[in-house]
Amino acid sequence: MKRRGLLDIESLPREDIESILARSKDFQPPPGQSFQRFDILRNRTIVNLFFEASTRTRTSFEIAARRLGGEVISITAAGSSVSKGESLVDTLNTLGAMRPDCIVMRHSASGAPHFLSRYLPIPFVNAGDGTHEHPTQALLDARTILDRRGSLEDLRVAIIGDIAHSRVARSNIFLLSKFGVRVVLCGPPSLLPREIGQIAPGLELTTDMEKAIRGVDVIMMLRVQLERQHEAAFPANEYFQFYGLRPEHVELAKPDVIVMHPGPINRGREISSEVADSQRSAILNQVGNGIAVRMAVLERVLAA
Ligand code: NCD
């Protein structure tokens, strides 16, 4: 992990996950306060390379690196030579020649950071690769659940929405399964491929939202990822009727259910404003935890 960075949750041992989650707790600020500053990454340079749209993940990695005393440079595809036709390998070779200490990368191709990390002697942190994985999102989601529940033991979690295209769903499935969490996946048939049921033992699949939610401890909603859908997977105006999370659904879950969403949320499409803004929603806690978890990840990957 130290040399190779963090590419996915699937190959990350449970003990490593536990140690990142424990360390991230040290970085959480007390309520109402800002993140503390550390010197841990002094003289270290992190390149944030984002080939896909991002608000929270990119900002979160930047803040995390700065809070640890590191230097961070953010490059987005639109402002880089990628828009001048440079290939990914050439862009990366160029950046590699500048000897950054770590590359945080988001790319629309599944496996892009895995491929590049084989050729460059620089640790990569995957900030989302296509429909494959988004490891730091699953870690921050686990941190958020732990903060409210204290343990992942004996939990039941429903992941609802565009499962087919969601790297967030996949990373969460891998992480939660390593801790024996019972996971139920729910979405319209066209966005709930049967194969996903094979990636971890004991996954339940259903197209019935009420069935998925009944008695769960955590509801994770997903955005409908239209940018990854090449043909209409469902009638757009009916989605909210069948798979939009509304207060009456939340009633079916445990009384202290946690409602989560990786963001960006589309109000009135996959989640109602009543639920998104309710006491049960942990959406902004997830954002805050993103920084603490990324501090723990960057420290682990980079600290000497
Ligand atoms: C997610 C992503 O990019 O995979 N967003 C995020 O990182 N917070 C989910 C999404 O875009 O729907």
144 burial level (CB within 10 Å; 0-12, 13-18, 19+):
buried
Backbone angles phi, psi at 298, to 5 degrees: -65, -40
Which of the listed residues 9, 55, 57, 265 should we mutate to test ligand 1's pocket, taking the one with most ligand atoms within 8 A of CB?
A: 57
Task: Among 55-59, 85-89, 108-112, 241-245, name the one with the lowest average pLDDT.
Answer: 85-89
Residue closest to 171 by CA, chosen among 28, 35, 297, 22: 297
Q: Does the pLDDT value for residue 2 go beyond 50?
A: no
Q: What is the pLDDT of residue 87?
A: 83
Question: Does 76 or 277 have the greater pLDDT score?
Answer: 277
The answer, yes or no, to whether any atom of ligand 1 lies below 6 A from the CB of 290, is no
Same topology, domains 5-133+289-302 and 135-286? Answer is yes
User: Quick one: CA torsion of 59, 245, 279, 21, rounded to 10 degrees?
Assistant: -50
The 71-76 sheet, strands edge to edge:
5-6, 124-129, 102-107, 45-50, 71-76
Tens of pLDDT along 228-276? 887 777 787 799 999 999 999 999 999 999 999 999 999 999 999 999 9
The answer, yes or no, to whether any atom of ligand 1 lies below 6 A from the CB of 223, is yes
Angle at 270 between CA 269 and CA 275, to 5 degrees: 110
Largest CA distance in the chain: 56
Tens of pLDDT along 134-187? 999 999 999 999 999 999 999 999 999 999 999 999 999 999 999 999 999 999
Q: Does the pLDDT value for residue 1 go beyond 70?
A: no
Average pLDDT, the chain: 94
Q: What is the pLDDT of residue 76?
A: 86
Query: Is residue 29 reached through a cis peptide bond, with omega within 30 degrees of 0 on the bond before it?
Result: no
Q: What is the pLDDT of residue 234?
A: 79
Residue closest to 61 by CA, chosen among 52, 53, 70: 70
Q: What is the pLDDT of residue 12?
A: 97
Which fold is adopted by the domain 5-133+289-302? Rossmann fold (3.40.50)
Residues 191 and 161: their CA atoms lie apart, in Å, by 7
Q: What is the pLDDT of residue 159?
A: 98
66 burial level (CB within 10 Å; 0-12, 13-18, 19+):
middle
Q: Output the CATH code of domain 135-286.
A: 3.40.50.1370
Q: Whose CA is nearest to atom 1 of ligand 1?
A: 262
Q: Is 298 helix (H, G, I), strand (E, B) or coil?
A: helix
Q: What is the pTM of this model?
A: 0.96
Alpha-helix runs per DSSP H in the chain: 14-27, 56-67, 88-97, 112-117, 135-149, 167-178, 209-213, 239-243, 247-250, 273-276, 283-302
**Structure token pair of residue 263:** 């963001």
Q: What is the pLDDT of residue 203?
A: 98
Whats the size of the chain, residue-wise? 304
The answer, yes or no, to whether any atom of ligand 1 lies below 6 A from the CB of 135, is no
List the domain boundaries for the chain: 5-133+289-302, 135-286
Residues 37 and 220: their CA atoms lie apart, in Å, by 31
**Structure token pair of residue 84:** 């001048």
Q: Does the pLDDT value for residue 77 go beyond 90?
A: no
Residues 43 and 36: their CA atoms lie apart, in Å, by 18
Tens of pLDDT along 15-42? 999 999 999 999 999 988 999 999 999 9
Percent of the chain with pLDDT over 70: 98
Q: Does the pLDDT value for residue 98 go beyond 70?
A: yes
d(CA 304, ligand 1 centre) in Å:
31
Closest ligand 1 atom, CA of 223? 12
Torsional sign, CA 181, 182, 188, 192: positive
The answer, yes or no, to whether any atom of ligand 1 lies below 6 A from the CB of 56, is yes
Sorting pLDDT into bands at 50, 70 and 90, what band is 3? low
Q: What does R_g of the chain's alpha carbons equal in angstroms?
A: 19
